[in-house]
């Protein structure tokens, strides 16, 4: 590992080492699986059978060499991907004209192979996108810029394979084999990367309101430390006295529904320290906030009041309740209040709602904890989070139809973008020459062909390569031919070219008179090239070649329009996570919906009514427009405990100010 030159660099090095290490642990099993697939006669289509068998045997017998190459290639690719992020985002369009055709075709193939893995790990990748953006101090990190995206792992394997196999015929055999179950298990890799960043304090980039809230949290924590300082040297200490602990443990569980101030008054004389009284007062403010919050469903407010006693016991035993958002008792209150708020948003509240039943079970678990209230709260949180995961899975299943349609839409859009880029690259290089007919054909009909090829590439590997090769062959066919040999080559290659063009055009169902007119004009162009006059002199050939090179270079170097920086609305869209709630202003009134699904490339968002039913879907740019013009807003619900503690601290500050004035 290279020496770190900054804390950020050290963290990036740790991420690389973790990814390479976890992938390395999986490498042997992956090599065994790949060798078995190569030796399986049904794994690949017919053709190159001997190459496949040789490759499989070589991998089986010398897999350690492949493991070494793959680990080295993965580290190299990760470092290259990270290096591409410095010092600032580079607009994709600025590089398109500089990418060789073969490299561009390889990128397209790698992206197609990686797509199923991107979809399978979309949530973890989105979280990693956000954390890396925060680490690199960027407003947004696109999915294609994430150095740990599945495509990088696919590319590393392909590079290792190319270096491992001496037989050129074996080079294209690997990528068609990579699929879920025969690839790296990316879940532990992505989880480890997110955990490293989280432990280093790298969180999802905050919007202005979140940043202000963080500042307020720091002020609240400062006041709380001052309140507890006389009794405990640090937050998280144990301040509860044994008489109070014993008295609370002996109370009947039904006492949990009583107000905390009443418990304070009933406590044995001398059993309450100043820290104990402060704890009870602050928790009383928390539960008073629940009682007064009409946005929380009434039945959930009643449930929350049943956990007053176990939460009090946990907070008395560990003052970390007031400082740590993940403290089990605090987490339980925040979860219950959030789910109660969501329940209130639904038009009808089902009394047999699985989440409602799960909340009741969690409350019962916490209330039954007795003296071990902290462990009971942790168990209740675990139960509730498991129910939330099950609910998320059920929501995904219920939205399977809209999600599948959205995925198809995103893939079509991605395919169309790649098709337009491939055509634009060749036209920018001047390959169509002055032939406007071919240029127009490529920008319209052949863009449709390339879009279709990209769409079916997963099911029919090689479709993009075939369509791209036909485009390049067409462009070559209309370029001036400098001698008789080139004209003979043109005549010999035309039948195959025309057959491929017609086959693809049949697939996209272009059958009108315009097609006949195009081929007639193409035939005239080819005929004029074949009937060209005498061969050009060597000097004239050199002059034309030099001029063509200069023209292509000048077009490649034309400055591209830089991608505009993401505004606040685009940043807000990029920072959204599943489960967020938004409010939309509609003609019929305001409507609150829950973000149920985000597409792998974060271009499409599906919203639900909170009851596993699709409300509507929006493209990313359309959602940003709604946020920009104020017709939509993200409902940033502050966690219950933080909100209540903030209010209590402000009241204390106001009381102190009043006493000073008096």
What does the pLDDT read at residue 100?
52
Residue 19 lies in a domain: yes
Count the Cβ atoms, other than its own, within 10 Å of residue 554.
10
Residue 648 lies in a domain: no
* pLDDT greater at residue 77 or residue 137: 77
Residues 517 and 619 in one domain: no
Residues 392 and 487 in one domain: no
Least confident of 59-63, 187-191, 463-467: 59-63
Residue 446 lies in a domain: yes
Residues 478 and 506 in one domain: yes
Residue 561 lies in a domain: no
Question: How many structural domains does the chain have?
Answer: 4
| Domain end position, chosen among 535, 556, 577 | 556
Q: Omega into 87 within 30° of 0, i.e. cis?
A: yes
| 3-class DSSP state of 301 | helix
| 3-class DSSP state of 45 | coil
pLDDT level of residue 566 (50, 70, 90 thresholds): low
Residues 90 and 151 in one domain: yes
User: Is 598 within 8 Å of 122 (Cβ atoms)?
Assistant: yes
DSSP 361-383: HHHHHHHTTTT-HHHHHHHHHHH
What is the spatial distance between Cα 340 and Cα 601, in angstroms, rounded to a whole number? Answer: 32
What does the pLDDT read at residue 20?
93
Residue 34 lies in a domain: yes
pLDDT level of residue 83 (50, 70, 90 thresholds): confident
What is the per-residue pLDDT across 625-660, written as a single tens digit (0 to 9) for each? Answer: 999 999 999 987 678 888 888 888 777 666 655 554
What is the spatial distance between Cα 650 and Cα 662, in angstroms, rounded to a whole number? Answer: 18
pLDDT at 517 over 80: yes
Residues 314 and 179 in one domain: no
544-548: list long-range contacts, CB under 8 Å, 24+ apart. Answer: 544/480, 544/482, 548/430
Instruction: Using the Cα atoms of residue 471, residue 477, residue 482 and residue 484 in order, give the sign of their dihedral.
Output: positive
What is the spatial distance between Cα 331 and Cα 314, in angstroms, rounded to a whole number? Answer: 12
User: Is 381 within 8 Å of 332 (Cβ atoms)?
Assistant: yes
What is the per-residue pLDDT across 32-68, written as a single tens digit (0 to 9) for each? Answer: 888 888 887 554 444 567 777 888 888 888 878 888 8
What is the per-residue pLDDT across 403-417, written as a single tens digit (0 to 9) for each? Answer: 888 888 888 888 898
Burial of 29 (0-12, 13-18, 19+ CB in 10 A): exposed
Count the Cβ atoms, other than its own, within 10 Å of residue 94.
14
Question: What's the chain's average pLDDT?
Answer: 80
Residue 493 lies in a domain: yes
Residues 393 and 423 in one domain: no
SS (H, E, C) 540-580: HHHHHHHHHHHHHHHHHCCCCCCCCCCCHHHHHHHHCCCCC
What is the spatial distance between Cα 547 and Cα 549, in angstroms, rounded to a whole number? Answer: 5
What is the spatial distance between Cα 590 and Cα 570, in angstroms, rounded to a whole number? Answer: 22
Q: Give the domain CATH number at 590.
A: 2.30.30
Rg of the chain, C-alpha, whole Å: 32
pLDDT at 394 over 70: yes
What does the pLDDT read at residue 215?
46
Q: What percentage of the chain exceeds 70 in pLDDT?
A: 79
Most confident of the following: 90-94, 116-120, 462-466, 501-505: 501-505
Residue 524 lies in a domain: yes
φ/ψ bin of 346: left (φ > 0), alpha (ψ from -120 to 50), beta (otherwise): beta
pLDDT at 264 over 80: no
pTM of the model: 0.61
Residue with the two structure tokens 């329009």: 561
What does the pLDDT read at residue 1?
53
What does the pLDDT read at residue 500?
94
* pLDDT greater at residue 390 or residue 216: 390
Count the Cβ atoms, other than its own, within 10 Å of residue 76.
15
What is the per-residue pLDDT across 95-151, written as a single tens digit (0 to 9) for each? Answer: 434 445 556 567 777 887 888 888 788 888 888 988 888 888 777 777 788 999 999
| 3-class DSSP state of 181 | coil
- Residue 585 DSSP symbol: E
Q: Stretch 260-276: mean pLDDT, rounded?
A: 76
Enter the tokens of residue 182.
């025969």
φ/ψ bin of 327: left (φ > 0), alpha (ψ from -120 to 50), beta (otherwise): beta
Helices 242-250 and 308-317 meet at what angle, rounded to 10? 160
What does the pLDDT read at residue 626?
94
What is the per-residue pLDDT across 466-501, written as a single tens digit (0 to 9) for each? Answer: 999 999 999 989 888 877 888 889 899 999 999 999
DSSP 396-436: HHHTHHHHHHHHHHHHHHHHHHHHHHHHHHHHHTTTTTT-H
Enter the tokens of residue 372.
């071990």
What is the per-residue pLDDT across 202-215, written as a single tens digit (0 to 9) for each? Answer: 766 544 444 444 44
* pLDDT greater at residue 619 or residue 371: 619
Residues 346 and 414 in one domain: no
User: Is 412 within 8 Å of 454 (Cβ atoms)?
Assistant: no
pLDDT at 553 over 70: no
| Domain end position, chosen among 512, 531, 556 | 556
User: H or E stretch including 592?
Assistant: strand 589-598
Residues 29 and 178 in one domain: yes
Identify the CA nearest to 467 among candidates 449, 492, 445, 442: 449
| Domain end position, chosen among 166, 182, 199 | 199
Residues 375 and 463 in one domain: no
What does the pLDDT read at residue 234?
40
Residues 275 and 328 in one domain: yes
Residues 14 and 49 in one domain: yes
Q: Stretch 259-268: mean pLDDT, rounded?
A: 74
Q: Stretch 85-103: mean pLDDT, rounded?
A: 48
Question: 261: domain range?
Answer: 208-398
Residue 657 lies in a domain: no
Residues 521 and 587 in one domain: no
Least confident of 109-123, 353-367, 512-526, 545-559: 545-559
């Amino acid at each position: 590992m290279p020496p770190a030159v900054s804390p950020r660099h050290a963290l990036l090095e740790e991420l690389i080492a973790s990814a390479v290490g976890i992938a390395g642990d999986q490498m042997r099993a992956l090599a065994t699986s790949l060798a078995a697939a190569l030796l399986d006669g049904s794994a690949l289509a017919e053709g190159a059978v001997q190459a496949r068998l040789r490759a499989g045997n070589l991998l089986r017998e010398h897999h350690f060499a492949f493991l070494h190459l793959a680990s080295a290639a993965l580290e190299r690719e990760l470092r290259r991907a990270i290096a591409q992020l410095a010092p600032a985002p580079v607009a994709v369009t600025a590089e398109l004209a500089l990418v060789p055709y073969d490299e561009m075709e390889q990128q397209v193939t790698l992206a197609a192979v990686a797509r199923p893995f991107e979809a399978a790990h979309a949530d973890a990748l989105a979280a990693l996108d956000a954390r890396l953006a925060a680490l690199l101090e960027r407003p947004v990190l696109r999915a294609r810029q994430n150095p740990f995206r599945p495509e990088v792992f696919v590319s590393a394997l392909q590079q290792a394979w190319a270096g491992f196999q001496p037989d050129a015929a074996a080079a294209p055999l690997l990528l068609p084999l990579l699929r879920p179950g025969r690839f790296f298990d990316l879940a532990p890799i992505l989880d480890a990367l997110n955990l490293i960043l989280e432990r280093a304090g790298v969180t999802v980039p905050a919007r202005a309101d979140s940043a202000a809230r963080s500042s307020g949290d720091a002020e609240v924590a400062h006041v709380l430390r001052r309140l507890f300082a006389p009794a405990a040297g640090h937050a998280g200490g144990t301040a509860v006295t044994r008489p109070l602990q014993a008295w609370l443990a002996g109370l009947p569980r039904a006492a949990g529904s009583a107000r905390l101030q009443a418990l304070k008054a009933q406590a044995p004389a001398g059993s309450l320290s100043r820290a104990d009284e402060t704890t009870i007062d602050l928790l009383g403010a928390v539960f008073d906030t629940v009682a007064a919050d009409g946005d929380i469903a009434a039945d959930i407010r009643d449930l929350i009041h049943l956990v007053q006693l176990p939460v009090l016991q946990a907070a008395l035993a560990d003052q970390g309740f007031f400082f740590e958002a993940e403290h089990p008792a605090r987490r339980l209150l925040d979860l219950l209040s959030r789910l109660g708020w969501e329940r209130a948003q639904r038009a009808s509240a089902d009394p047999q709602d699985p989440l409602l039943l799960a909340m009741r079970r969690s409350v019962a678990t916490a209330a039954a904890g007795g003296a071990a209230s902290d462990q009971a709260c942790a168990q209740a949180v675990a139960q509730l989070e498991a129910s939330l995961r099950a609910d998320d899975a059920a929501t995904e299943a219920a939205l399977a139809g809209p999600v599948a349609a959205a995925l198809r839409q995103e893939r079509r859009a991605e395919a169309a973008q790649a098709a337009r880029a491939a055509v634009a690259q060749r036209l920018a290089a001047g390959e169509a020459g002055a032939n406007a007919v071919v240029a127009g054909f490529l920008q319209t009909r052949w863009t449709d062909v390339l879009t279709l090829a990209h769409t079916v590439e997963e099911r029919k590997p090689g479709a993009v390569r075939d369509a791209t090769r036909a485009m390049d062959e067409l462009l070559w066919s209309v370029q001036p031919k400098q001698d008789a040999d080139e004209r003979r080559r043109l005549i010999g290659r035309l039948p195959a070219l025309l057959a491929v063009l017609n086959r693809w055009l049949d697939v996209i169902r272009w059958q009108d008179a315009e097609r006949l007119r195009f081929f007639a004009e193409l035939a005239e162009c080819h005929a004029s090239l074949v009937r060209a006059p005498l061969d050009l002199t060597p000097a004239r050939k050199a002059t034309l070649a030099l001029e063509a090179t200069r023209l292509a270079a000048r077009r490649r170097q034309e400055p591209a329009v830089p991608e505009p920086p993401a505004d606040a609305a685009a940043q807000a869209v990029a920072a959204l996570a599943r489960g967020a709630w938004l409010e939309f202003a509609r003609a019929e009134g305001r409507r609150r919906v829950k973000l149920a699904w985000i597409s792998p490339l974060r271009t499409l968002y599906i919203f639900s009514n909170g009851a596993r039913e699709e409300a509507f879907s929006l493209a990313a740019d359309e959602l940003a427009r709604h946020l920009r013009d104020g017709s939509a807003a993200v409902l940033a619900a502050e966690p219950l405990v933080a909100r209540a503690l903030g209010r209590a601290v402000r009241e204390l500050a106001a009381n102190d100010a009043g006493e000073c004035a008096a």
